[in-house]
Amino acid sequence: MKVVTGQRPRMHRVLFDLPATMIIGGIILFASFVLAFFPSLFAPYDPNAFDYGALLHAPTLAHPFGTDNYGRDMLSRVIHAYTIDMQIAVFATIVPVIVGTLIGAVVGYAGGLTEAFFGRVVDAIITFPFLVLVIAIVSVLGPGLINMYIAVGIIDWVFYGRLTAAEIKVQKRLDYADAGRVMGYRPSRVVFRHLLPNAMTPALVYWMTDMALAILLGSSLGYLGLGAQPPAAEWGVLIADGKNFMTTAWWISIFPGLAIVITGLGFSLFGDGLAEFLRTRR
């Protein structure tokens, strides 16, 4: 509450106030998205070019991450994989975020039978382990990224729905909700215009974690051969490629694994900082 002058808080003040975790996470995510959008600018080689003169080379200056059994430069493959894996993070979660949040808002506001019904749907879906359910759906639809998005979309929205419904239930009992009602606004206006912006925080924070989970899921399915298909460079696929050489050429699997860890860490740190930031702003 330090601003009383009537001016909007200045940009550098806002940046200065951000939690450190959010800044570190933000830098990692920014770098990841830059790599994802412009992989060719950073990759020293063509990720799919074979070099039979340099098979299974350990990391050197020429190939900092080494080469695989076809002589492909691992650094270039890891960088090009950013394109697919960041796409997985966003595409797999964006529909569940929007659909789940909207459904959650309506359910939380309506309460009663609607909510009871929604609760049973949620129960039915989360009874199954997430990964098992996704694998089951992908096996039916067939392997590939699009089918993975569909499978995640069918399941993932319930988590956002549940979070938002719970928060809406809190918000709808507050005075400003009654004030909106007593002002004669339609229920839809009260829910979407007044309550939802105040109730989105948990879903927003969870979204960050969920994108990290989506990358893990994409990699897991890629590893199992149900997600991105070789020769596409995708971290899970790369790790799977390296599994036969684990004892002799560890770098093939390790570096994609590190990329997963760092990107996941970026999302988690950013989400953590975002939660803190939104909490202190209240």
CA distances from 51 to 107, 114, 232, 238 (A): 57, 61, 17, 17
Per CB under 8 A, 116 contacts another protein: no
Among residues 95, 59, 55, the alpha carbon closest in space to that of 71 is found at: 55
Which span sits near another protein by CB under 8 A: 28-36, 194-202, 217-225, 233-241?
194-202
Please state the closest distance from residue 173 (CB atom) to another protein, in A. Answer: 7
Which span sits near another protein by CB under 8 A: 89-97, 152-160, 181-189, 206-214?
181-189
Please state the closest distance from residue 21 (CB atom) to another protein, in A. Answer: 24
Q: Provide the CB-side half-sphere exposure for 6 (13 A, CA).
A: 0
Please state the closest distance from residue 198 (CB atom) to another protein, in A. Answer: 6
Per CB under 8 A, 192 contacts another protein: no
Q: How many CB atoms lie within 10 A of CB 199?
A: 25
Per CB under 8 A, 14 contacts another protein: no
**Binding mask 150-179 vs another protein (x if CB under 8 A, - otherwise)?**
-----------------------xxxx-xx
Per CB under 8 A, 87 contacts another protein: no
Contact 269, 25 (CB under 8 A): yes
Q: Smaller CB distance to another protein: residue 180 or 264?
A: 180
Contact 260, 271 (CB under 8 A): no
* Rounded-to-integer distance, Cα 108 and Cα 131, Å: 27
Q: What are phi and psi of 69, to 5 degrees?
A: -70, -5
Sole binder of another protein in the list 4, 41, 132, 140 (CB under 8 A): 4
Per CB under 8 A, 220 contacts another protein: no
Sole binder of another protein in the list 182, 247, 248, 280 (CB under 8 A): 182
Radius of gyration of the chain (CA): 23
Question: DSSP string spanning 181-230?
Answer: HHTT--HHHIIIIIIHHHH-HHHHHHHHHHHHHHHHHHHHHHHHTSSSPT
Please state the closest distance from residue 182 (CB atom) to another protein, in A. Answer: 5
Per CB under 8 A, 6 contacts another protein: yes
Give the interface with another protein as residue ranges (CB under 8 A). Answer: 1, 3-4, 6, 173-176, 178-186, 193-194, 197-198, 282
